[in-house]
Structure 1
Amino acid sequence: MVEPRKTVFTRELITADSFGEPCEPVSRVAVSAVFRNPLAGRFEPDLSALFEIGALLGQQLAQQAVAMLDGPAVSYGKAAIVGAAGDMEHGGAVIHPRLGAPMRAAAHGGLAVIPSNVKLGGIGDSIDMPLGHKDDPWSFDHFDTMTLCVPDAPRADEIAMFIGYATRGRPIPRCGSGPAKQ
């Protein structure tokens, strides 16, 4: 099991839109885990060590994130920032092959693909983690973003992994329901 150097919890409670209009409260939580990239500095065709890290950290962190919400998880997302000595594929290997199952288990479902984002970055860089409805990929009301960072990560030989959940979509959504409901 990889031991994160740092775990960061971000919890937001949104009670008004950007114009100050009151809304149904939206609870959003993200958990960030920063760990050493075992493949930093070299090309490796077999990324399975990173698949395992994503699965193990996902099991550990998803339950903690959902427990911090003010209600059931309705939407979710994931992201990773890979330090400069790594490769974008390293981030993809952490968040794609095996992270989804523990995230879906924590959310008690999840028929939709988990929206994601990966990039190379340096210390203090932020990433926009997309959120989408866990069961309805066409729910426009749930297309959302959390901008996240860990101020002292990722170092060149690290990966910062992010998972997130929300109890609702955007505050006061007005873009329509999407083709599945029209």
Structure 2
Amino acid sequence: MSSCSWPGKNQTMQQYHDNEWCVPSYDDVYIFEMLILEGAQAGLSWNIVLSKREEYQKAFRHFDIDYCAKLTDEELETIKDQYNIIKNRTKINAVRSNAIAVLNLQKEFGSFSTFLWNYVDGQPVINSWVSEGQIPAQTPLSEQISKDLKKRGFKFVGPVIIYSFMQAIGMVDDHIRTCSYHSRNR
């Protein structure tokens, strides 16, 4: 069986591919973490983001949503200066605004997970791509989720980011059909 080739020989990328990518998660904290990391990736490689993941976890107290929602401008600036994260101020500020938006969704839907997974009736979309070149950068569903999240105050949630996010939390399985990690091969 041939596997997805995008992780290459990079051990961090391979571990992410094997253990997290396209694995369904219903945990709000993990989902929030992936939303923040996918937003941080905009314009960069996923490898860069994964290499800074531990620093993000330290800086944002393992993506404690309540903590992130209460961060002040000064605290966000300190985080930017003291941690080895992506230094884009707008992306860093999005952590707070997205945390606030998540808390609002939790009040309305019970959880961030419930809100998101309702788009796919609680079950992942399992694709059967023959090659990685077939995997889309965005879909009508990622466009809809992006639009809905933006209306609710989320930042860095364009349709391409959201499609990657959907892969990250397992709302879609985009492993190629012959990859041993594809849902149908496990």
TM-score interval (norm. to shorter): under 0.3
Task: Specify which structure has the bigger relative contact order, considering alpha-carbon pairs within 8 angstroms and separated by 6 or more residues.
Answer: 2
User: Which structure: greater helix fraction?
Assistant: 2
User: Which structure: greater strand fraction?
Assistant: 1
TM-score, normalising length: structure 2: 0.27
TM-score, normalising length: structure 1: 0.27
